[in-house]
């Protein structure tokens, strides 16, 4: 077990290093965006003095290296900075009371995104694995082909198209679910769940194909193994051969694909949020880029990167744990 612990610690250290490098990339990329917040907020007719004054207020006149370390130092202490958009109006009106930290702005949005991702994962992961196991069991049958065609068609269609189709069938023609997912704080859980269901279903359609096909392929890949032949020659049922003998050995690639798809659910759902007016982090991100609200953009990027790294790390660790050779060394 000490062996596994060392591996996990190594991966964690690597993850932290990756995050540090990503933070540099984010900072540089965001600073390469054309235009800046001051120019943007004051419009075309702004005097250079006014622009300079806002830049000075926001610290934009500092050299990039200083700004990077200020930002990094803040992040390490849990301070993601202050949103330009909020800070600006505060200093302009001289009231200073409306100043909002980036953290306060992002937190509720991020919670909403995690909620949606979780609802989707709870539907999509068991569904894909079950479909994958069944497709492997009845491979090349009508069921297998139907499952493949359906999931592939849904992954190949644009997300907004899937979303509108679902709205048409589940909200307009048969009003079962609400088409607007305008959830807010303090909403009852059941209502929240009901409102999130349509976007979650849309996302399920998007991510299922990948996970299901990997499950199917990873299992079929093992079916030629001598131990599978042995299981068959012991007279076990086909279902038992697959679930008990093939699936445990196919877990590593399946876990990795699940992690990639979960990461996508956290970071890549802007279109679905827009269609359903779901107040997630994706919309906030796009809005902040538009107005060059750099602290918010950087914080969002950092959260996305962390989500990717953490999920892949978890997948790595779970793959390691699914291997009895590593769990029980000689």
Partner 1 sequence: MTDEPPLVKIRGIKLEGRSDETWNPIINGVDLTLARGEVLGLIGESGAGKSTLGLAAMGYTRDGVRISDGTVEFDGIDLLTASAAIKRDLLGKRIAYVAQSAAASFNPAHKLMEQHVEGPVQHGVNDRGSSEEDGIELYRKLRLPNPDEIGFRYPHQVSGGQLQRAMTAMAMSCRPDLIIFDEPTTALDVTTQIEVLASIRDIVEQYNTAAIYITHDLAVVAQMADRIKVLLKGDEVETADTRTMLSAPTQEYTKSLWAVRSFERPKKPAVSTGAVPVISVQNVDAAYGKVPVLYDVSFDMHSGRTVAVVGESGSGKSTTARCITGLLPPTAGQIMLDGEVLPADYRKRSKDQLRQVQMIYQMADTALNPRMSIGQIIARPVQFYLGLTGAEKRKRVDALLEEIELEPTEYYNRLPSELSGGQKQRIGIARALAAEPKFIICDEVTSALDQLVAEGILRLLARLQDQLSLSYMFITHDLATVRAIADEVVVMKDGRVIEQGDKDEMFRPPHHAYTDLLLSSVPEMDPDWLSNLLAERGVDNIGDAAVDKM
Q: Is 152 exposed, middle or buried (0-12, 13-18, 19+ CB in 10 A)?
A: middle
Residue 237 interacts with partner 1 (CB under 8 A): yes or no: yes
Which of 169, 234, 239, 290 binds partner 1 (CB under 8 A)? It is: 234
Q: How far from each other are the two terminal CA atoms of the chain, in whole angstroms?
A: 11
**What DSSP character marks residue 82?**
B
Instruction: Pick the piece of the chain touching partner 1 (CB under 8 A) from 57-65, 66-74, 105-113, 240-248.
Output: 240-248
Instruction: Pick the piece of the chain touching partner 1 (CB under 8 A) from 5-13, 32-40, 97-105, 237-245.
Output: 237-245
Residue 145 interacts with partner 1 (CB under 8 A): yes or no: no
Residue 225 interacts with partner 1 (CB under 8 A): yes or no: yes
The site for partner 1, by CB under 8 A, has a size of 22
Which of 59, 227, 277, 287 binds partner 1 (CB under 8 A)? It is: 227
User: Which residue, 214 or 247, is less far from partner 1 as judged by CB?
Assistant: 247
Strand, helix or coil for residue 217 = helix
Which of 106, 162, 231, 303 binds partner 1 (CB under 8 A)? It is: 231
Query: Please, which residues have CB within 8 angstroms of residue 330's CB and are 6 or more apart in sequence?
Result: none
Find out whether 251 and 138 touch, Cβ atoms under 8 Å: no
Which of 2, 34, 43, 226 binds partner 1 (CB under 8 A)? It is: 226
**Share in percent of the chain as helix, strand, coil (round to 5):** 80, 0, 20
Q: Torsion over CA of 288, 291, 293 and 294, rounded to 10 degrees?
A: 90
User: Which residue, 75 or 326, is less far from partner 1 as judged by CB?
Assistant: 326
Which of 17, 176, 230, 239 binds partner 1 (CB under 8 A)? It is: 230
Tell me the angle at which helices 84-93 and 294-321 cross, rounded to the nearest 10 degrees: 150
Residue 249 interacts with partner 1 (CB under 8 A): yes or no: yes
DSSP alpha helix (H) spans, 168-269: 189-222, 226-233, 238-240, 247-267
Residue 2 interacts with partner 1 (CB under 8 A): yes or no: no
Can you give the binding site for partner 1, defined by CB under 8 A? Answer: 224-227, 229-237, 240, 244-245, 248-249, 324-325, 328, 330
């Amino acid at each position: 077990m000490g062996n596994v612990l060392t591996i996990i610690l190594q991966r964690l250290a690597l993850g932290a290093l990756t995050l540090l490098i990503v933070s540099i990339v984010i900072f540089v990329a965001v600073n390469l965006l054309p235009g800046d917040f001051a120019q943007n907020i004051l419009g075309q007719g702004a005097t250079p003095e006014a622009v300079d004054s806002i830049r000075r207020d926001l610290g934009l006149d500092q050299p990039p290296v200083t700004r990077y370390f200020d930002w990094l130092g803040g992040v390490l202490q849990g301070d993601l900075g202050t949103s330009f958009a909020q800070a600006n109006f505060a200093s302009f009106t001289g009231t200073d009371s409306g100043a909002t930290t980036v953290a306060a702005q992002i937190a509720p949005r991020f919670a909403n995104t995690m909620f949606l991702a979780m609802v989707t994962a709870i539907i999509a992961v068991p569904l894909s694995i079950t479909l994958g196991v069944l497709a492997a069991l009845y491979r090349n049958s009508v069921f297998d082909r139907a499952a493949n065609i359906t999931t592939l068609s849904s992954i190949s269609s644009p997300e907004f198209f899937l979303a509108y189709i679902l709205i048409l069938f589940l909200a307009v023609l048969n009003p079962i679910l609400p088409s607007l997912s305008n959830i807010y704080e303090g909403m009852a859980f059941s209502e929240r769940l009901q409102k999130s269901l349509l976007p979650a279903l849309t996302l399920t359609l998007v991510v299922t194909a990948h996970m299901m096909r990997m499950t199917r392929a990873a299992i079929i890949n093992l079916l030629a193994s001598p131990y599978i032949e042995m299981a068959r020659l012991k007279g076990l049922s086909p279902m038992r051969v697959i679930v008990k003998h093939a699936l445990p050995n196919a877990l590593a690639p399946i876990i990795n694909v699940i992690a990639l798809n979960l990461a996508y659910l956290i970071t890549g759902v802007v279109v679905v949020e827009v269609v359903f007016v779901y107040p997630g982090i994706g919309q906030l991100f796009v809005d902040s880029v538009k107005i060059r609200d750099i602290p918010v953009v950087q914080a969002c990027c950092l959260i996305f990167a962390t989500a990717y790294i953490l999920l892949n790390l978890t997948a790595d660790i779970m793959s390691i744990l699914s291997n009895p050779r590593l769990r029980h060394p000689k």
